Chain A
């Protein structure tokens, strides 16, 4: 049976009933755009109806990709719709519902395997002799699932995604930081958390928190905003790792750059990046680049949705969002599109896979990789000095 009381409690806590019916959330919600049945309001209505089970049969339960754009649009600052969705999902998962993870559960299966046993992973084969890492220290670089993506998407994406990790390490090394890299780090748990699989998420939280604490780190840097925002929530959820969490490029903003842009470049912000930044994104880009970097959104500081929301879904709708982004970038004459989240990177690369896109003169690159490549070229001497 669905826990109706719990849903009511969540509704109160997340203030979803304080809705003024302004529908600003619907304007920004990427799911509403294509799924006429879904809206935050419709979800709340169904969840609080006498038969919340209809959320399952209608498919609305899993529709939200928890990008949080609605949160930024809502005039009531305390209303937290994504949190409400998450809570409702948890009540359903407790009754035996299984979340429909994207990519036919490939990524989530890896997370489950990591959560279930004491593994000694062999996940650091991408390290090279030139990169320096430590077993303990102040700064810890949380790699995330990149080594697994390399395998899972090996047939679909030409560039290895561990390039991002390598680039992050190089950048850290280049400013004299030898970060801790955990050989047995597990999935941050973000996907499970947002899909309501609290049990799996918690065992992942516990493992990571323990590993990070033992490394003695004071700061965790990430190249994936999803990992970052999840790790930031660990202490609140009862898994204290005792660290500040920063996005790598943001953490190094004063130490590297500025990089001169040779191409007309746009940046695709990500749903979970903004809260990780010390200032806003405009400030970050201003200190990293010489020359203008544009956003595909009207306002650079507003998050943009790549349609994926972790690995929650991958379907025609998310694909349409990705196509829209790519078309927008090309129509505005950009030749380079920088992503800040590996998941955006994977999906945009994926979207460009069919023949029609291969001819397009648009280069999609991760921000960290771009920085690493260009900082070294531009200011090699300066860093050494």
Chain B
């Protein structure tokens, strides 16, 4: 049933009713459920989609999905705290899918195959944006803004860009070449990076506005350590974790203590301890005032540190630092007990008086947390500092009280994770764009009509499958080296791990259908994704997931199509066009094998030694060249059968135009002009590819009432499927037949894209469409 103009639709849009007589109407795909992993990701990465794409070996596409929201996939693939994995449905059964490791695999895989060369973008807008700070937030915002056409300059105080990523995260967790490469990739699109420029000292925010920057984003992070606040803090051998890590990471400090005590329970405590170990410490101990359960550090980081030999001591609060000749010699601790929860929800540690004891050490690292370092903006116009030492911004516009001055990331939120910083970066980029263009802020809550249905049904794994272990180096050996601890999955491991995904919800929102359709059947838009587009009603949406076609789980691919005015809704089953073989008809002649451009069709022996064609649905792209060539009609296209084609042609007028959907999508104006040049009653029938039109179809038409057949086709050079040669052969065969019959061979003709459409196409700048 097709959605009609006069009322709501019922049933499924089967896909092919619509090609004849379709009307223009806006539709968007509304995924009916949102998977927990997608909902959990602060940066809004479409986790389910990239995991599913990885499972199918579509690594490039998967990485594209990650990159939509994360500009540093290789970095986040290593250091992300993985909130998605916590919410993974499979975690309730046999362990969450190793989502983060998959992301890392994707990035590494691309790198191994030659990396990425982003195209340089030229600013298309006159406004300039200055970003202070080159951490994940600043980089993300800069990239989003540069992509929107703004000229962006990043000011970085340090000599190396990366913010916390480069200053605080040790290289055994995040190799510096990966970080540098991914930052370079971002900068390559045309972002200017000025390192070693300290805003506040070398240039002020006023200067920036004065020198022509229209908007300034403060994304300076939280680099000021929170002190121990005990006696002896100034002694030699006492360092805060940030300075310690920065001096190791940036200045190449090579010596630490021999007997090191780290105070704190967060990630930087763990990083400091593991770094101290690598600098040659014989003994590294972490003291934390609460117990193991309350440690903010990730479990897997704690476990890795323990495996390397770091000792952990709990319920120990520092009282004072023991001095020996101006140097630290030890720490006096007091035993703590846990009392009722405080405001943070964690139990409050209370000292037990009289339980003090001293632990010896020659180096003390205090890792008690950070806050923004706001000295550089002190006294500037529009700066307001909260009582937590963070910048105050308007929650809607993300602007400080000075127009054009924005702030985001740790400097606003206080110390948070890299993925949260990325989320903030996207958010503020939207806000800046809205401010500079005078449009409504798309990110603000006032225009968010998309309310996902929360995920309810829990799919259960059919077979127990433990997580594929992430390859990791031996703790004994790695504890002494700054080489990376973890290794990436291999491609097969990644596919195996990704296939553990239970694919919660319905549509994957991988948007591969957009690529698959590209205007042939539909231009699909996803609500909430901000991608505009047109879908003709009753349009066939194709999903690449072969599982849908094979397992009969058609409902899994069901999505709602809703008109953009929200008045109408229709369900569409997402299925993919692939060739299918009817075993009863196949004679195993092998013509399909020869005609297939993708080696998707093979003729194989059956058990009874007879031959049969089989289609690898993963390789098949549904062009239909094999269908056109099949002498027995045994091979057919899922959703696009010969019967359909013949039914569509049954009531056709004297003139029939079979047209390639790609052609029409690429040259819409020229195509309409062509349509107008023909008789009004000419019947236009869209086929996936003109190569789908076989000789028998043409002859079949001519043997009925059709007098003239035109096939609007891409030329061989432009053909997306490469099957236009097959069309040429079919047409010349039919012409020969017509000649034999004494009929006019020109009754069948090909209207070529190059001769009839190309000039218009070049004008509209869309020639690239077809050549990819």
Contact A113 B632 (CB under 8 A): no
Q: With CB as the reference atom, state the residue of chain A lying closest to B586.
A: A316
- In the complex with contacts A105-B700, A151-B736, A316-B742 CB distance below 8 A: no
Q: Give the docked Cα–Cα distance between A321 and B586 (Å).
A: 13
Contact A122 B611 (CB under 8 A): no
Q: Give the docked Cα–Cα distance between A224 and B587 (Å).
A: 24
Contact B740 A104 (CB under 8 A): no
Q: Give the docked Cα–Cα distance between A104 and B693 (Å).
A: 13
Contact A109 B585 (CB under 8 A): no
Q: Give the docked Cα–Cα distance between A109 and B740 (Å).
A: 13
Contact of B737 among A110, A320, A353 (CB under 8 A): A110
Give the contact-size bracket for chain B. 35 or more
- In the complex with contacts A104-B630, A109-B703, A320-B610, A123-B587 CB distance below 8 A: no
Contact B699 A105 (CB under 8 A): yes
A270 within 8 A of B: no
A112 within 8 A of B: yes
B-contacting residues of A (Cβ < 8 Å)?
102-106, 108-110, 112-114, 116, 119-123, 147-148, 151-152, 154-156, 314-320, 323, 350-351, 353-356
Q: With CB as the reference atom, state the residue of chain A lying closest to B704.
A: A112
Can you list 13 A-B pairs with a CB-CB distance of less than 8 A?
Answer: A104-B630, A104-B697, A110-B737, A110-B741, A121-B741, A148-B740, A151-B737, A152-B733, A156-B631, A316-B584, A316-B587, A316-B610, A356-B605
B window 556-602: CB within 8 A of A: 583-591
Main secondary structure of the interface of A (DSSP, over half): helix
Most buried by B among A120, A123, A152: A152
Q: With CB as the reference atom, state the residue of chain B lying closest to A200.
A: B703
Contact B612 A109 (CB under 8 A): no
* A323: B residues at CB distance < 8 A: 610
Contact B612 A113 (CB under 8 A): no
B window 737-752: CB within 8 A of A: 737, 739-743
Q: From residue A242, how far is it (CB to closest CB) to chain B in Å?
A: 27
Contact of A316 among B583, B631, B633 (CB under 8 A): B583
Q: Give the docked Cα–Cα distance between A296 and B589 (Å).
A: 23
Contact B589 A147 (CB under 8 A): no
Q: Give the docked Cα–Cα distance between A316 and B695 (Å).
A: 22
Contact B611 A315 (CB under 8 A): no
B198 within 8 A of A: no
Contact A350 B589 (CB under 8 A): yes
Q: From residue A194, how far is it (CB to closest CB) to chain B in Å?
A: 18
Q: Give the docked Cα–Cα distance between A14 and B435 (Å).
A: 90
Q: From residue A35, how far is it (CB to closest CB) to chain B in Å?
A: 9
- In the complex with contacts A103-B696, A123-B740, A320-B610, A112-B703 CB distance below 8 A: yes
Contact B729 A316 (CB under 8 A): no
Q: Give the docked Cα–Cα distance between A212 and B373 (Å).
A: 106
Contact B590 A104 (CB under 8 A): no
Contact of B590 among A120, A148, A353 (CB under 8 A): A353
Contact A156 B591 (CB under 8 A): yes
* B612: A residues at CB distance < 8 A: 316
Contact B702 A113 (CB under 8 A): yes
Contact B631 A109 (CB under 8 A): no
Q: Give the docked Cα–Cα distance between A355 and B590 (Å).
A: 9
* B630: A residues at CB distance < 8 A: 104
* B590: A residues at CB distance < 8 A: 353-355
Contact B740 A152 (CB under 8 A): no
- In the complex with contacts A147-B740, A354-B611, A315-B586 CB distance below 8 A: yes
Q: With CB as the reference atom, state the residue of chain A lying closest to B590.
A: A354
Q: From residue B692, how far is it (CB to closest CB) to chain A in Å?
A: 13
Q: Give the docked Cα–Cα distance between A106 and B742 (Å).
A: 17
Contact A151 B603 (CB under 8 A): no
Contact A106 B585 (CB under 8 A): no
Q: Give the docked Cα–Cα distance between A94 and B688 (Å).
A: 35
Q: Give the docked Cα–Cα distance between A110 and B738 (Å).
A: 9
- In the complex with contacts A152-B733, A316-B586, A120-B742 CB distance below 8 A: yes
Q: From residue B695, how far is it (CB to closest CB) to chain A in Å?
A: 7
Contact B632 A103 (CB under 8 A): yes
- In the complex with contacts A155-B729, A315-B584, A354-B590, A104-B631 CB distance below 8 A: yes
Contact B587 A319 (CB under 8 A): yes
B634 within 8 A of A: yes
Q: From residue A307, how far is it (CB to closest CB) to chain B in Å?
A: 10
Q: From residue A232, how far is it (CB to closest CB) to chain B in Å?
A: 26
B694 within 8 A of A: yes
Contact B741 A114 (CB under 8 A): yes
Q: With CB as the reference atom, state the residue of chain A lying closest to B729.
A: A155
Q: From residue B226, how far is it (CB to closest CB) to chain A in Å?
A: 75
Q: With CB as the reference atom, state the residue of chain B lying closest to A353.
A: B589
Q: With CB as the reference atom, state the residue of chain B lying closest to A59.
A: B584
B25 within 8 A of A: no
B642 within 8 A of A: yes
Q: Give the docked Cα–Cα distance between A125 and B681 (Å).
A: 38
- In the complex with contacts A119-B743, A315-B634, A104-B587 CB distance below 8 A: no
Q: Give the docked Cα–Cα distance between A116 and B588 (Å).
A: 34
Q: With CB as the reference atom, state the residue of chain A lying closest to B696.
A: A104
Q: Give the docked Cα–Cα distance between A116 and B603 (Å).
A: 39
Q: With CB as the reference atom, state the residue of chain B lying closest to A319.
A: B587
Contact B586 A109 (CB under 8 A): no
* B700: A residues at CB distance < 8 A: 104-105, 109
Contact of B740 among A105, A106, A121 (CB under 8 A): A121
Contact B743 A315 (CB under 8 A): no
* A353: B residues at CB distance < 8 A: 589-590
Contact B631 A113 (CB under 8 A): no
Most buried by B among A108, A109, A119, A317: A109
Contact B587 A314 (CB under 8 A): yes
* A116: B residues at CB distance < 8 A: 703
Q: Give the docked Cα–Cα distance between A29 and B729 (Å).
A: 38
Q: With CB as the reference atom, state the residue of chain A lying closest to B740.
A: A123
Contact A151 B733 (CB under 8 A): yes
* A320: B residues at CB distance < 8 A: 610
Q: From residue A167, how far is it (CB to closest CB) to chain B in Å?
A: 20
Contact of B702 among A109, A147, A351 (CB under 8 A): A109
Q: From residue A107, how far is it (CB to closest CB) to chain B in Å?
A: 9
Most buried by A among B590, B695, B699, B704: B699
Q: From residue A146, how far is it (CB to closest CB) to chain B in Å?
A: 11
Q: Give the docked Cα–Cα distance between A110 and B589 (Å).
A: 23
Contact A113 B743 (CB under 8 A): yes
Contact B737 A152 (CB under 8 A): yes
Q: Give the docked Cα–Cα distance between A260 and B661 (Å).
A: 61
B window 332-361: CB within 8 A of A: none
Q: Apart from A109-B703, A151-B736, A314-B587, what are 4 other A-B pairs with CB-CB below 8 Å? A: A113-B703, A152-B733, A315-B632, A316-B587
